Chain A
Amino acid sequence: MEKVGIVGYNQVKLYSDANYGRYEMIFEAVRGAIDNAGLKKKDITTVISCTNDYYDGRTISNCFTVEVGGGYLADESKVEMDGAHGVLYGLMRILSGNHKLAVVWGGSMASCFPYHTARLYETDPTWERPNAYVNDITAAGFQMRAYMEKYGVSAEDIAKIAVKNRKNASKNPLALEEAQNSNITVKDVLESDIYAAPVTELMVAQPCDGVAALLLAPEKHALKITDKPVWITGVGWNQDPYYLGDRDLSGSKSMELAGKMAFNAAGIKNPKDEIQVAELFEAYAHEELIFSEALGLAEKGKGADLSSEIDGKLPINPSGGAIGGNPPCATGLIRIIEAVKQLRGEAGKYQVKDVKKAVASGQIGMCAQNNILYVLEGGA
Protein backbone atom coordinates (compact mmCIF):
# COMPACT_ATOMS: atom_id res chain seq x y z
CA MET A 1 0.00 0.00 0.00
CA GLU A 2 1.20 3.52 -0.78
CA LYS A 3 2.04 5.50 2.31
CA VAL A 4 -0.56 7.88 3.67
CA GLY A 5 0.41 9.98 6.64
CA ILE A 6 -1.57 11.27 9.59
CA VAL A 7 -0.29 14.83 9.90
CA GLY A 8 -2.51 16.28 12.60
CA TYR A 9 -5.32 15.62 15.01
CA ASN A 10 -7.50 17.23 17.62
CA GLN A 11 -10.15 16.10 20.05
CA VAL A 12 -12.38 18.18 22.29
CA LYS A 13 -12.79 17.33 25.98
CA LEU A 14 -15.62 14.83 26.38
CA TYR A 15 -18.67 15.81 28.43
CA SER A 16 -21.82 13.95 29.41
CA ASP A 17 -23.73 17.22 28.97
CA ALA A 18 -21.62 19.86 27.29
CA ASN A 19 -22.56 23.49 27.85
CA TYR A 20 -21.84 24.53 24.31
CA GLY A 21 -23.41 23.53 21.01
CA ARG A 22 -22.26 20.96 18.49
CA TYR A 23 -21.67 23.72 15.94
CA GLU A 24 -18.92 25.20 18.13
CA MET A 25 -17.67 21.77 19.12
CA ILE A 26 -17.10 20.75 15.50
CA PHE A 27 -15.29 24.02 14.78
CA GLU A 28 -13.08 23.61 17.84
CA ALA A 29 -12.06 20.11 16.77
CA VAL A 30 -11.46 20.82 13.07
CA ARG A 31 -9.94 24.31 13.36
CA GLY A 32 -7.76 23.03 16.20
CA ALA A 33 -6.43 20.17 14.08
CA ILE A 34 -5.59 22.57 11.24
CA ASP A 35 -3.98 25.13 13.57
CA ASN A 36 -1.96 22.49 15.43
CA ALA A 37 -0.56 21.29 12.11
CA GLY A 38 0.34 24.86 11.10
CA LEU A 39 -2.03 24.75 8.12
CA LYS A 40 -4.72 27.01 6.70
CA LYS A 41 -8.30 26.50 5.52
CA LYS A 42 -7.15 26.80 1.89
CA ASP A 43 -4.82 23.80 2.35
CA ILE A 44 -7.80 21.47 2.80
CA THR A 45 -8.65 19.72 -0.44
CA THR A 46 -11.34 17.33 0.83
CA VAL A 47 -13.49 17.03 3.95
CA ILE A 48 -15.05 13.82 5.22
CA SER A 49 -17.60 14.22 7.98
CA CYS A 50 -18.94 11.40 10.10
CA THR A 51 -22.30 11.89 11.76
CA ASN A 52 -25.62 10.11 12.04
CA ASP A 53 -28.96 11.62 11.06
CA TYR A 54 -30.79 9.99 13.96
CA TYR A 55 -28.20 11.21 16.45
CA ASP A 56 -28.23 14.71 14.99
CA GLY A 57 -32.02 14.89 14.87
CA ARG A 58 -32.11 16.01 11.25
CA THR A 59 -31.75 14.43 7.85
CA ILE A 60 -28.61 14.86 5.75
CA SER A 61 -27.14 16.27 8.91
CA ASN A 62 -23.83 17.24 7.30
CA CYS A 63 -25.65 20.10 5.55
CA PHE A 64 -25.48 22.19 8.72
CA THR A 65 -21.82 21.45 9.39
CA VAL A 66 -20.44 22.88 6.15
CA GLU A 67 -19.09 26.10 7.64
CA VAL A 68 -17.69 24.73 10.89
CA GLY A 69 -16.25 21.51 9.46
CA GLY A 70 -13.97 23.26 6.96
CA GLY A 71 -16.20 22.42 4.01
CA TYR A 72 -17.28 25.94 3.01
CA LEU A 73 -17.55 25.93 -0.79
CA ALA A 74 -15.31 22.89 -0.82
CA ASP A 75 -15.31 19.18 -1.54
CA GLU A 76 -17.19 17.53 1.34
CA SER A 77 -19.02 14.27 1.86
CA LYS A 78 -20.26 12.20 4.74
CA VAL A 79 -19.86 8.72 6.18
CA GLU A 80 -22.74 7.58 8.37
CA MET A 81 -20.77 5.07 10.44
CA ASP A 82 -18.00 5.28 13.00
CA GLY A 83 -15.32 7.96 12.65
CA ALA A 84 -12.82 5.18 11.93
CA HIS A 85 -14.82 4.40 8.78
CA GLY A 86 -14.61 8.08 7.88
CA VAL A 87 -10.83 7.71 8.00
CA LEU A 88 -11.09 4.82 5.51
CA TYR A 89 -12.93 7.10 3.10
CA GLY A 90 -10.35 9.84 3.67
CA LEU A 91 -7.56 7.33 3.06
CA MET A 92 -9.17 6.30 -0.23
CA ARG A 93 -9.55 9.94 -1.28
CA ILE A 94 -5.82 10.49 -0.68
CA LEU A 95 -4.89 7.23 -2.44
CA SER A 96 -6.90 8.35 -5.48
CA GLY A 97 -4.08 10.81 -6.09
CA ASN A 98 -6.42 13.78 -6.31
CA HIS A 99 -5.94 15.23 -2.84
CA LYS A 100 -3.17 16.73 -0.77
CA LEU A 101 -4.98 17.15 2.53
CA ALA A 102 -8.05 15.38 3.86
CA VAL A 103 -9.84 16.47 7.00
CA VAL A 104 -11.81 13.68 8.65
CA TRP A 105 -14.02 14.67 11.55
CA GLY A 106 -16.73 12.83 13.44
CA GLY A 107 -18.86 13.17 16.52
CA SER A 108 -22.19 13.98 18.07
CA MET A 109 -23.90 15.03 21.27
CA ALA A 110 -25.53 12.10 23.03
CA SER A 111 -26.84 14.47 25.71
CA CYS A 112 -29.46 15.72 23.23
CA PHE A 113 -31.31 12.46 22.68
CA PRO A 114 -31.97 9.06 24.31
CA TYR A 115 -29.08 7.20 22.68
CA HIS A 116 -29.92 3.62 23.71
CA THR A 117 -33.55 4.11 22.72
CA ALA A 118 -32.52 5.47 19.32
CA ARG A 119 -30.50 2.30 18.75
CA LEU A 120 -33.83 0.46 18.57
CA TYR A 121 -34.13 2.03 15.12
CA GLU A 122 -31.35 -0.23 13.91
CA THR A 123 -33.60 -3.26 14.27
CA ASP A 124 -35.78 -4.64 11.48
CA PRO A 125 -38.93 -2.48 11.32
CA THR A 126 -40.96 -5.35 9.88
CA TRP A 127 -40.05 -7.84 12.58
CA GLU A 128 -37.99 -6.95 15.67
CA ARG A 129 -38.72 -3.28 16.08
CA PRO A 130 -42.43 -3.51 16.93
CA ASN A 131 -41.60 -5.87 19.81
CA ALA A 132 -38.93 -3.54 21.19
CA TYR A 133 -36.79 -6.18 22.86
CA VAL A 134 -33.52 -5.29 21.15
CA ASN A 135 -31.38 -2.21 21.56
CA ASP A 136 -27.61 -1.96 21.93
CA ILE A 137 -27.81 -2.71 25.65
CA THR A 138 -29.89 -5.90 25.51
CA ALA A 139 -27.83 -7.02 22.50
CA ALA A 140 -24.69 -6.53 24.60
CA GLY A 141 -26.30 -8.64 27.33
CA PHE A 142 -26.57 -11.50 24.81
CA GLN A 143 -23.02 -10.91 23.59
CA MET A 144 -21.47 -10.92 27.07
CA ARG A 145 -23.35 -14.05 28.08
CA ALA A 146 -22.41 -15.87 24.86
CA TYR A 147 -18.73 -15.04 25.44
CA MET A 148 -18.78 -15.99 29.14
CA GLU A 149 -20.59 -19.27 28.61
CA LYS A 150 -18.54 -20.42 25.64
CA TYR A 151 -15.19 -19.97 27.37
CA GLY A 152 -16.10 -20.10 31.05
CA VAL A 153 -15.04 -16.48 31.58
CA SER A 154 -16.28 -14.88 34.81
CA ALA A 155 -18.03 -11.55 35.24
CA GLU A 156 -15.09 -10.56 37.49
CA ASP A 157 -12.68 -11.01 34.58
CA ILE A 158 -14.80 -8.68 32.48
CA ALA A 159 -15.23 -6.19 35.32
CA LYS A 160 -11.43 -6.00 35.53
CA ILE A 161 -11.36 -4.51 32.03
CA ALA A 162 -13.80 -1.78 33.13
CA VAL A 163 -11.60 -1.12 36.17
CA LYS A 164 -8.44 -0.90 34.05
CA ASN A 165 -10.00 1.42 31.49
CA ARG A 166 -11.60 3.71 34.07
CA LYS A 167 -8.27 3.94 35.92
CA ASN A 168 -6.50 4.66 32.62
CA ALA A 169 -9.10 7.31 31.81
CA SER A 170 -8.21 9.11 35.03
CA LYS A 171 -4.79 9.83 33.46
CA ASN A 172 -6.38 11.19 30.28
CA PRO A 173 -7.38 14.85 30.61
CA LEU A 174 -9.77 14.63 27.62
CA ALA A 175 -11.69 11.63 28.97
CA LEU A 176 -15.20 11.89 30.33
CA GLU A 177 -15.11 13.00 33.97
CA GLU A 178 -17.75 10.46 34.98
CA ALA A 179 -15.58 7.68 33.54
CA GLN A 180 -12.38 8.74 35.31
CA ASN A 181 -11.84 6.83 38.52
CA SER A 182 -8.47 5.91 39.93
CA ASN A 183 -9.92 4.11 42.95
CA ILE A 184 -12.54 1.94 41.28
CA THR A 185 -12.75 -1.74 42.23
CA VAL A 186 -14.11 -4.88 40.57
CA LYS A 187 -16.82 -4.90 43.26
CA ASP A 188 -17.91 -1.38 42.26
CA VAL A 189 -18.34 -2.53 38.67
CA LEU A 190 -20.22 -5.73 39.50
CA GLU A 191 -22.50 -3.96 41.96
CA SER A 192 -23.33 -1.02 39.69
CA ASP A 193 -26.81 -0.76 38.18
CA ILE A 194 -27.77 -3.77 36.07
CA TYR A 195 -28.34 -2.51 32.53
CA ALA A 196 -29.04 -5.86 30.88
CA ALA A 197 -27.66 -8.76 32.90
CA PRO A 198 -24.83 -9.65 32.91
CA VAL A 199 -23.92 -6.15 31.65
CA THR A 200 -23.75 -3.54 34.42
CA GLU A 201 -23.61 0.23 34.15
CA LEU A 202 -19.85 0.58 34.70
CA MET A 203 -19.09 -1.96 31.94
CA VAL A 204 -20.75 0.34 29.41
CA ALA A 205 -18.87 2.93 27.37
CA GLN A 206 -21.16 5.83 28.20
CA PRO A 207 -22.40 7.74 25.16
CA CYS A 208 -21.41 11.38 25.55
CA ASP A 209 -20.74 14.66 23.76
CA GLY A 210 -17.61 15.08 21.70
CA VAL A 211 -15.99 15.66 18.33
CA ALA A 212 -12.58 14.67 16.97
CA ALA A 213 -10.69 15.48 13.79
CA LEU A 214 -7.79 13.91 11.90
CA LEU A 215 -5.70 15.17 8.99
CA LEU A 216 -4.41 12.85 6.24
CA ALA A 217 -1.88 13.58 3.50
CA PRO A 218 0.01 11.60 0.85
CA GLU A 219 3.61 10.67 1.80
CA LYS A 220 5.44 13.46 0.01
CA HIS A 221 3.09 16.15 1.25
CA ALA A 222 2.98 14.69 4.76
CA LEU A 223 6.74 15.07 5.09
CA LYS A 224 6.43 18.76 4.22
CA ILE A 225 3.79 19.34 6.89
CA THR A 226 5.32 17.55 9.86
CA ASP A 227 8.51 15.89 11.01
CA LYS A 228 6.43 13.48 13.09
CA PRO A 229 4.08 11.82 10.61
CA VAL A 230 2.33 8.59 11.52
CA TRP A 231 1.83 6.21 8.62
CA ILE A 232 -1.21 4.07 7.94
CA THR A 233 0.49 0.87 6.85
CA GLY A 234 -2.52 -1.43 6.95
CA VAL A 235 -6.29 -1.30 7.15
CA GLY A 236 -8.90 -4.04 7.14
CA TRP A 237 -12.65 -4.00 7.51
CA ASN A 238 -15.44 -6.54 7.50
CA GLN A 239 -18.99 -7.10 8.65
CA ASP A 240 -21.08 -9.74 10.35
CA PRO A 241 -24.67 -10.66 9.39
CA TYR A 242 -27.48 -8.32 10.39
CA TYR A 243 -29.72 -10.52 12.54
CA LEU A 244 -28.28 -11.26 15.98
CA GLY A 245 -29.83 -14.73 15.84
CA ASP A 246 -27.63 -15.58 12.83
CA ARG A 247 -24.38 -14.78 14.61
CA ASP A 248 -22.04 -16.51 17.00
CA LEU A 249 -21.86 -13.68 19.50
CA SER A 250 -19.13 -15.36 21.56
CA GLY A 251 -16.52 -14.05 19.13
CA SER A 252 -16.12 -11.52 16.35
CA LYS A 253 -15.67 -13.04 12.94
CA SER A 254 -15.70 -9.61 11.30
CA MET A 255 -12.89 -8.33 13.54
CA GLU A 256 -10.92 -11.50 12.87
CA LEU A 257 -11.17 -10.94 9.11
CA ALA A 258 -10.56 -7.19 9.41
CA GLY A 259 -7.43 -7.97 11.42
CA LYS A 260 -6.14 -10.46 8.85
CA MET A 261 -6.64 -7.96 6.07
CA ALA A 262 -4.90 -5.14 7.96
CA PHE A 263 -1.99 -7.26 9.23
CA ASN A 264 -1.48 -8.71 5.78
CA ALA A 265 -1.27 -5.22 4.26
CA ALA A 266 1.20 -4.11 6.94
CA GLY A 267 3.30 -7.28 6.66
CA ILE A 268 2.64 -8.22 10.26
CA LYS A 269 2.87 -11.97 10.86
CA ASN A 270 2.59 -12.18 14.60
CA PRO A 271 0.61 -9.20 15.91
CA LYS A 272 1.06 -9.89 19.60
CA ASP A 273 4.86 -9.70 19.25
CA GLU A 274 5.02 -6.96 16.64
CA ILE A 275 2.73 -4.27 18.01
CA GLN A 276 3.35 -2.36 21.23
CA VAL A 277 -0.06 -0.86 21.91
CA ALA A 278 -3.71 -1.33 20.90
CA GLU A 279 -6.55 1.15 21.10
CA LEU A 280 -9.75 -0.85 20.57
CA PHE A 281 -13.29 0.55 20.46
CA GLU A 282 -14.92 -1.50 23.21
CA ALA A 283 -18.51 -0.33 23.52
CA TYR A 284 -18.71 -2.73 26.48
CA ALA A 285 -15.93 -4.13 28.66
CA HIS A 286 -16.32 -7.68 27.30
CA GLU A 287 -15.77 -6.47 23.73
CA GLU A 288 -12.15 -5.59 24.55
CA LEU A 289 -11.56 -9.26 25.32
CA ILE A 290 -13.49 -10.49 22.27
CA PHE A 291 -11.55 -8.13 19.98
CA SER A 292 -8.10 -8.87 21.41
CA GLU A 293 -8.78 -12.56 20.85
CA ALA A 294 -10.14 -11.98 17.34
CA LEU A 295 -6.94 -10.08 16.52
CA GLY A 296 -4.75 -12.90 17.79
CA LEU A 297 -3.37 -10.88 20.72
CA ALA A 298 -4.59 -13.68 23.00
CA GLU A 299 -5.91 -17.21 22.53
CA LYS A 300 -9.68 -17.64 22.29
CA GLY A 301 -11.23 -17.28 25.73
CA LYS A 302 -7.92 -16.17 27.25
CA GLY A 303 -8.12 -12.40 26.69
CA ALA A 304 -8.49 -11.83 30.43
CA ASP A 305 -4.99 -13.28 31.01
CA LEU A 306 -3.35 -10.56 28.93
CA SER A 307 -1.07 -8.15 30.68
CA SER A 308 -2.78 -5.09 29.19
CA GLU A 309 -2.17 -2.30 31.72
CA ILE A 310 -0.22 0.80 30.66
CA ASP A 311 3.02 -0.75 31.91
CA GLY A 312 1.99 -4.28 30.87
CA LYS A 313 3.34 -6.52 28.14
CA LEU A 314 0.80 -5.35 25.57
CA PRO A 315 -1.12 -2.28 26.76
CA ILE A 316 -4.70 -2.09 25.50
CA ASN A 317 -6.64 1.16 25.71
CA PRO A 318 -4.11 3.10 27.80
CA SER A 319 -6.24 6.21 27.12
CA GLY A 320 -9.21 4.57 28.85
CA GLY A 321 -10.68 3.35 25.57
CA ALA A 322 -14.30 3.92 24.70
CA ILE A 323 -15.16 3.36 28.37
CA GLY A 324 -13.27 6.62 28.93
CA GLY A 325 -15.95 8.35 26.85
CA ASN A 326 -18.01 7.30 23.85
CA PRO A 327 -19.20 10.19 21.67
CA PRO A 328 -21.15 8.42 18.89
CA CYS A 329 -19.41 8.72 15.48
CA ALA A 330 -16.17 9.95 17.11
CA THR A 331 -15.15 7.03 19.29
CA GLY A 332 -13.26 4.98 16.66
CA LEU A 333 -11.63 8.13 15.34
CA ILE A 334 -10.44 8.89 18.88
CA ARG A 335 -8.93 5.39 19.08
CA ILE A 336 -6.85 6.25 15.99
CA ILE A 337 -5.87 9.60 17.50
CA GLU A 338 -4.84 7.89 20.73
CA ALA A 339 -2.66 5.43 18.80
CA VAL A 340 -1.11 8.39 16.96
CA LYS A 341 -0.35 10.08 20.30
CA GLN A 342 1.38 6.92 21.49
CA LEU A 343 3.49 6.75 18.32
CA ARG A 344 4.43 10.42 18.56
CA GLY A 345 5.15 10.29 22.29
CA GLU A 346 2.35 12.72 23.04
CA ALA A 347 0.23 10.60 25.39
CA GLY A 348 1.37 12.30 28.61
CA LYS A 349 0.65 10.34 31.77
CA TYR A 350 -0.53 7.27 29.86
CA GLN A 351 2.38 7.12 27.43
CA VAL A 352 3.53 3.58 26.69
CA LYS A 353 7.29 3.11 26.29
CA ASP A 354 8.97 2.53 22.91
CA VAL A 355 5.92 2.36 20.66
CA LYS A 356 6.87 1.62 17.04
CA LYS A 357 3.70 -0.02 15.78
CA ALA A 358 0.15 0.33 17.06
CA VAL A 359 -3.32 -0.82 16.11
CA ALA A 360 -6.59 1.07 16.47
CA SER A 361 -10.11 -0.13 15.79
CA GLY A 362 -13.55 1.25 15.12
CA GLN A 363 -16.94 -0.41 15.05
CA ILE A 364 -20.60 0.18 14.34
CA GLY A 365 -23.81 -1.78 14.77
CA MET A 366 -25.33 -4.12 17.32
CA CYS A 367 -22.68 -6.23 19.08
CA ALA A 368 -20.04 -4.59 16.85
CA GLN A 369 -21.56 -5.86 13.62
CA ASN A 370 -19.01 -3.99 11.52
CA ASN A 371 -15.36 -3.66 12.49
CA ILE A 372 -12.39 -1.80 11.06
CA LEU A 373 -8.75 -2.07 12.09
CA TYR A 374 -5.75 0.17 11.34
CA VAL A 375 -2.07 -0.59 11.66
CA LEU A 376 -0.11 2.59 12.33
CA GLU A 377 3.62 3.16 12.36
CA GLY A 378 5.68 6.10 13.51
CA GLY A 379 8.88 7.66 12.22
CA ALA A 380 9.58 10.01 9.37
Chain B
Amino acid sequence: MSEEKVIVANKGLVRAEFNFWVGRYMDKFYDGLENKKIVGNKCPKCGDVFVPPRKICGKCNVVIPFDNNWVDLPDIGTLVNYTITSYKVNDRSDRKAKPQIIGMVRIDGSNTGIIYRILDIDSSEVKTGIKVKIEWNDQTKGDPSDIKGFVKV
Protein backbone atom coordinates (compact mmCIF):
# COMPACT_ATOMS: atom_id res chain seq x y z
CA MET B 1 0.00 0.00 0.00
CA SER B 2 2.67 2.43 1.00
CA GLU B 3 4.16 2.36 -2.51
CA GLU B 4 1.03 4.01 -3.82
CA LYS B 5 1.07 6.73 -1.21
CA VAL B 6 1.47 10.26 -2.41
CA ILE B 7 3.58 12.17 0.05
CA VAL B 8 3.77 15.92 0.21
CA ALA B 9 6.69 17.07 2.27
CA ASN B 10 7.13 20.52 3.67
CA LYS B 11 10.66 21.25 2.61
CA GLY B 12 12.22 24.60 1.94
CA LEU B 13 8.94 26.48 1.80
CA VAL B 14 9.08 28.09 5.20
CA ARG B 15 12.08 29.42 7.00
CA ALA B 16 11.32 30.86 10.42
CA GLU B 17 14.25 30.54 12.78
CA PHE B 18 13.96 31.58 16.38
CA ASN B 19 16.51 33.75 18.09
CA PHE B 20 16.05 33.22 21.81
CA TRP B 21 17.54 35.76 24.16
CA VAL B 22 19.13 33.75 26.93
CA GLY B 23 18.45 36.33 29.63
CA ARG B 24 20.78 38.05 32.10
CA TYR B 25 21.47 34.98 34.24
CA MET B 26 22.47 32.73 31.34
CA ASP B 27 24.40 35.64 29.81
CA LYS B 28 26.57 35.68 32.90
CA PHE B 29 26.91 31.88 32.75
CA TYR B 30 27.98 31.97 29.10
CA ASP B 31 30.47 34.75 29.85
CA GLY B 32 31.92 32.34 32.42
CA LEU B 33 32.14 29.53 29.86
CA GLU B 34 34.00 31.83 27.49
CA ASN B 35 36.62 32.18 30.25
CA LYS B 36 36.49 28.44 30.97
CA LYS B 37 34.79 28.98 34.31
CA ILE B 38 31.59 27.52 35.76
CA VAL B 39 29.32 29.99 37.50
CA GLY B 40 26.24 28.89 39.42
CA ASN B 41 23.84 30.64 41.76
CA LYS B 42 22.35 29.81 45.11
CA CYS B 43 18.74 30.02 46.24
CA PRO B 44 18.66 32.37 49.25
CA LYS B 45 15.90 30.28 50.80
CA CYS B 46 16.74 26.57 50.39
CA GLY B 47 20.43 26.93 49.55
CA ASP B 48 20.29 24.79 46.41
CA VAL B 49 23.02 25.68 43.93
CA PHE B 50 22.02 25.74 40.28
CA VAL B 51 24.20 25.15 37.22
CA PRO B 52 23.37 26.87 34.95
CA PRO B 53 22.15 29.70 37.19
CA ARG B 54 18.43 30.47 37.33
CA LYS B 55 16.38 33.49 38.09
CA ILE B 56 13.77 31.52 40.00
CA CYS B 57 13.97 28.61 42.41
CA GLY B 58 10.94 26.52 41.47
CA LYS B 59 10.83 24.64 44.75
CA CYS B 60 10.77 27.84 46.89
CA ASN B 61 9.01 29.93 44.25
CA VAL B 62 11.31 32.89 44.91
CA VAL B 63 13.50 35.09 42.76
CA ILE B 64 17.23 34.60 43.22
CA PRO B 65 18.45 38.21 43.12
CA PHE B 66 20.93 39.02 40.36
CA ASP B 67 23.15 41.30 42.44
CA ASN B 68 24.54 38.53 44.65
CA ASN B 69 24.07 34.79 45.29
CA TRP B 70 26.67 33.85 42.65
CA VAL B 71 28.87 30.83 43.29
CA ASP B 72 32.13 30.01 41.51
CA LEU B 73 32.32 26.28 40.95
CA PRO B 74 35.07 23.90 39.82
CA ASP B 75 35.02 22.18 36.43
CA ILE B 76 34.91 18.83 38.18
CA GLY B 77 31.89 16.78 39.10
CA THR B 78 30.37 13.35 39.62
CA LEU B 79 28.81 11.24 36.89
CA VAL B 80 25.36 10.55 38.34
CA ASN B 81 23.81 8.87 35.31
CA TYR B 82 24.61 7.97 31.70
CA THR B 83 23.24 6.38 28.57
CA ILE B 84 24.98 5.09 25.44
CA THR B 85 23.53 5.55 21.99
CA SER B 86 24.59 5.14 18.37
CA TYR B 87 21.74 7.23 17.10
CA LYS B 88 22.11 10.92 16.48
CA VAL B 89 19.80 12.60 18.95
CA ASN B 90 18.82 15.31 16.47
CA ASP B 91 18.44 12.99 13.50
CA ARG B 92 17.47 9.43 14.24
CA SER B 93 17.68 8.39 10.62
CA ASP B 94 21.43 8.63 11.04
CA ARG B 95 23.84 6.74 13.25
CA LYS B 96 27.23 7.79 14.51
CA ALA B 97 30.18 5.58 13.58
CA LYS B 98 30.93 5.13 17.27
CA PRO B 99 28.30 5.11 20.02
CA GLN B 100 28.39 8.23 22.14
CA ILE B 101 28.17 8.19 25.90
CA ILE B 102 25.84 10.85 27.21
CA GLY B 103 26.28 11.59 30.88
CA MET B 104 24.49 13.51 33.56
CA VAL B 105 27.09 15.29 35.70
CA ARG B 106 26.62 16.98 39.04
CA ILE B 107 29.26 19.70 39.26
CA ASP B 108 30.90 19.66 42.71
CA GLY B 109 29.10 22.10 44.98
CA SER B 110 25.87 22.11 42.94
CA ASN B 111 22.52 20.36 43.39
CA THR B 112 21.53 19.78 39.76
CA GLY B 113 22.75 17.63 36.90
CA ILE B 114 23.89 18.84 33.49
CA ILE B 115 23.95 16.67 30.39
CA TYR B 116 27.04 16.33 28.18
CA ARG B 117 29.04 13.73 26.30
CA ILE B 118 31.60 11.65 28.20
CA LEU B 119 34.77 11.53 26.12
CA ASP B 120 37.82 9.30 25.82
CA ILE B 121 36.45 6.44 27.85
CA ASP B 122 35.59 2.89 26.88
CA SER B 123 31.92 2.12 27.39
CA SER B 124 32.83 -0.84 29.61
CA GLU B 125 34.66 1.52 32.00
CA VAL B 126 31.82 3.98 32.48
CA LYS B 127 29.91 3.73 35.72
CA THR B 128 27.92 6.07 37.88
CA GLY B 129 29.83 7.68 40.73
CA ILE B 130 33.12 8.29 38.87
CA LYS B 131 34.67 11.76 38.99
CA VAL B 132 34.75 13.61 35.70
CA LYS B 133 36.24 16.89 34.52
CA ILE B 134 35.29 19.30 31.77
CA GLU B 135 37.26 19.15 28.54
CA TRP B 136 37.10 22.71 27.24
CA ASN B 137 37.23 23.64 23.61
CA ASP B 138 40.46 25.49 22.80
CA GLN B 139 38.53 28.34 21.24
CA THR B 140 35.57 29.34 23.38
CA LYS B 141 32.60 31.37 22.13
CA GLY B 142 30.43 31.85 25.19
CA ASP B 143 27.86 29.21 24.30
CA PRO B 144 27.06 25.57 25.26
CA SER B 145 29.61 24.22 22.77
CA ASP B 146 32.50 25.63 24.86
CA ILE B 147 32.26 22.45 26.89
CA LYS B 148 33.46 19.70 24.53
CA GLY B 149 32.44 17.11 27.08
CA PHE B 150 33.64 15.48 30.29
CA VAL B 151 36.60 13.14 30.75
CA LYS B 152 37.41 10.79 33.61
CA VAL B 153 39.62 12.44 36.25
Contact = CB atoms under 8 A, between A and B. Distances in A.
B39 interface: no
Contacts of B112: 243, 245-246
Contacts of B92: 114, 116-117, 137
A109 B47 CA distance: 45
Interface in A108-159: 114, 116-117, 120, 125-128, 130-135, 137-138, 141-142, 145-146, 149
B115 A145 contact: no
B89 A138 contact: yes
B115 A146 contact: no
Given A116-B92, A133-B102, A145-B83, A241 B58 contact: yes
Contact of A131 (B20, B26, B145): B145
A378 B81 CA distance: 43
B52 A137 contact: no
Contacts of B20: 125-126
Contacts of A24: none
A120 B90 contact: yes
Contacts of B83: 138, 141-142, 145, 196-199
Interface string B83-127: 111111111110000010010101000001111110000000000
A130 B145 contact: yes
A194 B95 CA distance: 12
Contact of B89 (A17, A132, A245, A246): A132
A313 to B, nearest CB: 33
Given A17-B2, A126-B22, A145-B128, A131 B115 contact: yes
Contacts of A196: 83-85, 87, 102
Residues of B in contact with A, size category: 35 or more
Given A125-B18, A246-B112, A249-B81, A117 B117 contact: no
A246 B57 CA distance: 11
A127 to B, nearest CB: 6
B18 A197 contact: no
A128 B117 CA distance: 12
Contacts of A142: 81-83, 104
Nearest to B21: A126
Interface in A221-269: 241-246, 249
A200 B134 CA distance: 29
B26 A126 contact: yes
Contact of A114 (B1, B2, B91): B91
Interface in B40-54: 52
A127 B26 contact: yes
Contact of B90 (A126, A127, A132, A195): A132
A145 B82 contact: yes
Contacts of B143: 130
A134 B117 CA distance: 11
Contacts of A120: 89-90
B12 interface: no
B61 interface: no
A57 interface: yes
A148 B85 CA distance: 18
A195 B85 contact: yes
A145 B128 CA distance: 10
A240 B85 CA distance: 25
Given A19-B1, A116-B92, A196-B85, A133 B116 contact: yes
B144 interface: yes
B10 interface: yes
B15 interface: no
Contact of B85 (A19, A146, A194, A246): A194
Contact of B114 (A117, A241, A242, A245): A245
Nearest to B111: A246
A142 B102 CA distance: 9
Given A127-B26, A135-B90, 4 more contacts: A131-B144, A195-B85, A196-B102, A241-B59
Interface of A: 17, 19, 57, 114, 116-117, 120, 125-128, 130-135, 137-138, 141-142, 145-146, 149, 194-199, 241-246, 249
Interface of B: 1-2, 4-5, 10, 18, 20-23, 26, 52, 58-59, 81-93, 99, 102, 104, 106, 112-117, 128, 143-145
23 contacts: A57-B10, A125-B20, A126-B20, A126-B23, A127-B22, A127-B144, A130-B145, A132-B89, A133-B116, A134-B89, A134-B115, A137-B87, A142-B82, A149-B128, A194-B85, A196-B83, A196-B87, A197-B84, A198-B83, A242-B58, A245-B114, A245-B115, A246-B113
